[in-house]
Amino acid sequence: MVGYILAILTCIFFGLQGTYGKVLTRQFPSAIITWAMFSFSLPFLLVFLIASGIPQINLFTFAWTTLTSFLINVIAFNLFFKALSLSSLSLTMPFTAFTPLFLIPVAYIILGELPNIKGSSGIALIILGAYGLHAGSGSLLQPFRNFLLNKGTRYMLIVALMWSVSATVEKAAVLSSSPEFYGVVIYFMLSAAYLPYIYLYHREAAKSIPGNLKRLSLLGIITGAMIIFQFTSYEYLLASYVVAFKRAGVIVSVLLGYILFNEEKIFKNLIFTALMVMGVILIML
């Protein structure tokens, strides 16, 4: 029961992270938002690490999995916020549901595994949901044209592909140390990597950071809470279960997008987003 409660909280905070990130894109470049998320999550994570203590660490496994996660996420999170800045929440966040879909060809190439009927049905639901989100007036091919023309959607699909790889190594990193320890290390690395970048390429925008610490730190608090819930739930549930719950947070984002940004076609978007989430659940569970 504890694991499912943590997974549900991960879902909610993932939806809040995307929504609040969208709010911040109105004022800051995606690189600054990404740096702020990493940096302002650190104190939150550090408190949990101090409370739990330094764990026993499998140094070799922790080193290579953490380095792999770093190399992926240093790019993926910047693309995540860039996608949010370019398109509506309803046309970006649901496409994170493609993460488990992208795991299928990887499993086939490496292990020769193919999805069963349940998994195939999940794939169909995700594709149908994606088609429906871009559907409108016009021919049956119009959603595909809309998809190709929508840069935010394309960026989010790249993010989903990258996260499909990082999800596996993240669990290995957590199991070789602890959720709190891994969270502090990876977010310190990511924060340190972005700091010189934003001062070299976003120097003018960076000058506004001191006057907006409260706004930026809120993203860190939301993200820090989500990380703790997610990584701790790995100790109780399979990673696939946790990922499925987390991706359900896109429904929270789509709903908040309607409330906060007056995004249109809320009922259609919620229905097709729910189809994508159902597809994720069928594939992962």
Q: What amino acid is encoded at 192 in this protein? A: A
H/E element, 79: helix 59-86
Decide if pLDDT at 180 tops 70: yes
Decide if pLDDT at 185 tops 90: yes
Structure tokens, 275: 């189809």
- Give the chain's largest Cα–Cα span: 59
Distance CA 257, CA 143 (A): 21
Please give the pLDDT value at position 73: 92
Tens-digit pLDDT profile for residues 203-234: 888 888 888 888 889 998 898 888 888 878 87
Please give the pLDDT value at position 111: 46
Percentage of the chain lying above the pLDDT 90 cut: 13
Average pLDDT over residues 28-57: 88
Q: How confident is the model at residue 145 (pLDDT cuts 50, 70, 90)?
A: low
Question: Which of the residue ranges 13-27, 92-106, 164-178 would you say has the lowest mean pLDDT?
Answer: 92-106
Average pLDDT over residues 36-61: 88
The answer to whether the beta carbons of residues 254 and 88 sit under 8 Å apart is no
Express the helix, strand and coil content of the chain in percent, nearest 5 each.
85, 0, 15
Distance CA 193, CA 153 (A): 26
Decide if pLDDT at 15 tops 70: yes
Helix runs in 87-178, H state only? 98-111, 117-133, 142-149, 151-175
Structure tokens, 17: 């992270």
Structure tokens, 37: 């998320």
The whole-model pTM stands at 0.79
Closest by CA position to 35, among listed 191, 168, 245 = 191
The answer to whether the beta carbons of residues 173 and 58 sit under 8 Å apart is no
The answer to whether the beta carbons of residues 163 and 99 sit under 8 Å apart is yes
φ, ψ (nearest 5 deg) of residue 220: -65, -40
Decide if pLDDT at 110 tops 70: no
More confident call, 253 vs 264: 253
Question: Which of the residue ranges 125-139, 158-172, 235-249 would you say has the lowest mean pLDDT?
Answer: 125-139
Decide if pLDDT at 160 tops 70: yes
Average pLDDT over residues 243-253: 76
Distance from chain centroid for Cα 267: 23
The answer to whether the beta carbons of residues 166 and 72 sit under 8 Å apart is yes
Average pLDDT over residues 19-41: 89
Residues in Cβ contact with 35 at an 8 Å cutoff, skipping those fewer than 6 apart:
191, 194, 195, 197, 198
The answer to whether the beta carbons of residues 276 and 39 sit under 8 Å apart is no
Closest by CA position to 160, among listed 105, 98, 248 = 98
